[in-house]
Amino acid sequence: MSTQATTDFLTGVIEGFYGPPWSQAERFELFEQMAAWGLNTYLYAPKDDLKHRAIWRELYSTAEAEPLAELIRTCRLRDLRFIYALSPGLDIRYSHEAELEHLKKRLQQMLAMGCQNFALLFDDIPDRMADEDLKRWDSFASAQCHVTNTLFKWVRERSPRARFLFCPTPYCGRMAERKYGGEGYLATVGRELLPEIDVFWTGPEIISREIPVEHVRDLRKLLRRKPLIWDNLHANDYDGRRFYCGPYAGRPLELRGEVAGLLSNPNCEFALNYVPLRTLAEFVRCEATWDARQSHLSAMREWLPRFATVGQPVTLEDLVLFGDSYYLPYEEGPEAEALFQMARRLIIGGNETVDSSLTAAFRERAARLREFCARMTELQHRPLFYALSRRVWELREELDLLEKYVEFKSKGGQKDSAFGSDFHLPGTYRGGLVARLQRLLVLQPDGTLTPSRDRDRAGKHSDSTT
């Protein structure tokens, strides 16, 4: 029998990123992990399930419905809360009765599969209503509350213990400050959205380095309820070169008392989420003090067996160095940061004579990391290799080049004298339109973007100067 209550603290995972949704097998593995680690909630919201968002009015075919029904059954067996989310915001006409009927039909389809909990998400949509909707509501928030409240009441008649979630159009501090969604949007939600409905929030930013307790307390007053955290700390859909296997960090333990739950929307590549989710589970259960690094290292130790290869085994020490290279959005892990600082001093540190022990330390660490990357091709767990392969290739390339440069310099080559590599040539290396476009505007540390001052380099086809 289910032990779920409508007021439970929600902890777990949102499959809520852009890009290919997880496979069925990955979701089953996720449910097993969640149950073992004490996480209780899975929110189905893959942006690129076409029927979740782009064509939300169309019902699932029988072939599409069966896997969803299987997920619902599996969650129930494991006593996990399965929540189905729908994102109608791209083109919904809030004032059309027929639109409510479309929403009900979809929820009815999910109810028939045994789904009991739902969410309506209005993130990442145009923040203006159609003129006909503006005639009925002067506020975007009121229109969304009307639709959500109607659906909520309708669901509770059929699923009395349903949990119902709502994602506002401004869903972080920065968006609220910019008055995204219109003047007074969040206060209107606080007043008009039925109090049983949970409201998502990602923190001060979409990707919040920290979520301070005071930030959430202020919001709670406005929303008249505890917000539910949609945590994008480990999401990587916005940057294809990165992934994050650092710990759950930047959130104080007291935050748990101020929110309705903590749900993580992590890396697109399922196989890379072991440490993010393991440490989230630890954070939720932590009774003493929270040491993110310690939690990270112990989760890395648990993750290590997945790195079994068909050749030489990898060591925990090397895995930690690698993991530190893909740590968190705003910081590298300490081992990778140390490697970077060595490289920086050796390569652009000026003309001071470089201590040969620094050169040796850099070469040792860079070679170790590069060899670890090479070893990844031998992973027995192929999905893990596939998830890593593009990134480790790129990291290897860069390390290889820097090691060659440091060697060149240590043999007497001067900082600005000609140095080249036969494997890093214009056109095939660091090339392409995106790279060229990226060179036009330079992102400054304060967040402003300024036109490149290097007119020559900015227009070239690669990093060449020819």
Give the footprint of ligand GDL on this chain (CB under 6 A). 16-18, 47, 123-124, 167, 171, 202, 206, 230, 232, 235, 237-238, 265
Q: 124 vs 133, which CB is nearer to ligand GDL? A: 124
124 is catalytic: yes
Q: Which amino acid is at 396?
A: R
Cβ proximity of 451 and 441 under 8 Å: yes
User: Cβ of residue 210: shortest distance to ligand GDL, in angstroms?
Assistant: 16
- Minimum distance of ligand GDL from residue 232's CB (angstroms): 5
Contact between 211 and 199 under an 8 Å Cβ cutoff? The reply is no
Specify whether the CB–CB gap between 362 and 341 falls below 8 A.
no
Nearest distance from residue 237's CB to ligand GDL, in Å? 5
Rounded to a whole number of angstroms, the minimum distance from the CB of residue 219 to ligand GDL is 15
Q: Considering the complex, state which of residue 240 and residue 420 has its C-beta at the smaller distance from ligand GDL.
A: 240
Measure CA of the first residue to CA of the last residue in the chain; give whole Å. Answer: 71
Strands 441-443 and 449-451: antiparallel
Cβ contact 41:88 at 8 Å: no
Give the alpha-carbon dihedral of 255, 257, 259, 261, to 10 degrees. 100
Q: How far is it, in rounded angstroms, from Cα 223 to Cα 357?
A: 57
- The answer to whether residues 304 and 317 touch, using CB atoms and an 8 Å cutoff, is no
Q: Among the options 91, 124, 127, 133, which is catalytic?
A: 124
**Closest approach of Cβ 277 to ligand GDL, in Å?**
16
In the complex, minimum distance from the CB of residue 238 to ligand GDL, in angstroms, rounded to a whole number: 4
Q: Are 234 and 326 in contact (CB under 8 A)?
A: no
User: Cβ 93 to ligand GDL, closest distance in Å?
Assistant: 22
Instruction: Name the residue nearer to ligand GDL (CB basis): 90 or 112.
Output: 90
Query: Which of 141/167 has CB closer to ligand GDL?
Result: 167
118, 150 contact by CB (below 8 A): no
Measured distance CA(244)–CA(277) in Å, rounded = 11
Nearer to ligand GDL, 188 or 264 (CB): 264
Choice between 92 and 402, CB closer to ligand GDL: 92
In 3D, which of 12, 8, 105 has the Cα closest to residue 65?
105
With respect to ligand GDL, which residue has the nearer C-beta, 172 or 299? 172
In whole angstroms, the minimum distance from the beta carbon of 330 to ligand GDL comes to: 14
**116 or 169, CB closer to ligand GDL?**
169
Q: Residue 16 or residue 247: which is nearer to ligand GDL going by CB?
A: 16
Q: How far is the CB of 76 from ligand GDL (least distance, A)?
A: 26
> Which residue numbers are catalytic?
124
